[in-house]
A and B are shown apart, each in its own frame.
Chain A
Amino acid sequence: SQQGEEDPQALSIQEGENATMNCSYKTSINNLQWYRQNSGRGLVHLILIRSNEREKHSGRLRVTLDTSKKSSSLLITASRAADTASYFCATDAGVRGYQKVTFGTGTKLQVIP
């Protein structure tokens, strides 16, 4: 079962614009991570935010976390064609601290050159 749901399911923007993706989850978490997947390939880790953090930056990425609303957002600024991919949030579901990360449904981002 999915712990998280991303919104929107698909997003199409022009190169240079900002892209915002949202993730909502159901149960309390220790950490939330964002991953990127290029078509039919493995996932690549982008950023991890802990439950006691509210915002984190990495290059053109900005992630926010609101544990009271059980939601997170990923902002990609000044998007590039190479950012075209699916983006997934992942939560640990608080299971004994061991690796049982569950992924959301994903947002498919298309950046048009």
Chain B
Amino acid sequence: KAGVTQTPRYLIKTRGQQVTLSCSPISGHRSVSWYQQTPGQGLQFLFEYFSETQRNKGNFPGRFSGRQFSNSRSEMNVSTLELGDSALYLCASSLVGSTNEKLFFGSGTQLSVL
């Protein structure tokens, strides 16, 4: 069974641009969560999707958005990039997103904003 796939692996953007990151969960997993990881703030929860619906959202500005498609693949978008958005963005999948399930993580997208 293929693992969680995130693309691209690395991305360099400039301030003010927007970016879209992609996540393909493990086959059969319907819940996808996104996390931002920075040295200063650690791992911060962004949002969680299940069956194309956002069920939980973290404390991030509206510039951060996401969506999930009918095949459970998910994208997250960051508009009007700021220097502070430089981070490793991780997505994780699980079967139904219950909190007693373990999360399977992708390798992440390393975003650098110049």
Name A residues whose Cβ lies closer than 8 Å to a Cβ of B.
Answer: 1-2, 30-31, 33, 35, 40-45, 48, 50, 88, 90, 92, 95-106
Contact = CB atoms under 8 A, between A and B. Distances in A.
Q: Is the interface of B mostly helix, strand, loop or mixed?
A: strand
Contacts, number: 79
Interface residues of B, number: 30
Main secondary structure of the interface of A (DSSP, over half): loop
Contacts of B110: 40
B67 to A, nearest CB: 17
Most chain A CB atoms below 10 A, which of B33, B100, B107: B100
B108 interface: yes
Given A99-B31, A99-B56, A40 B108 contact: yes
B99 A42 contact: no
Interface string B101-114: 11111111010000
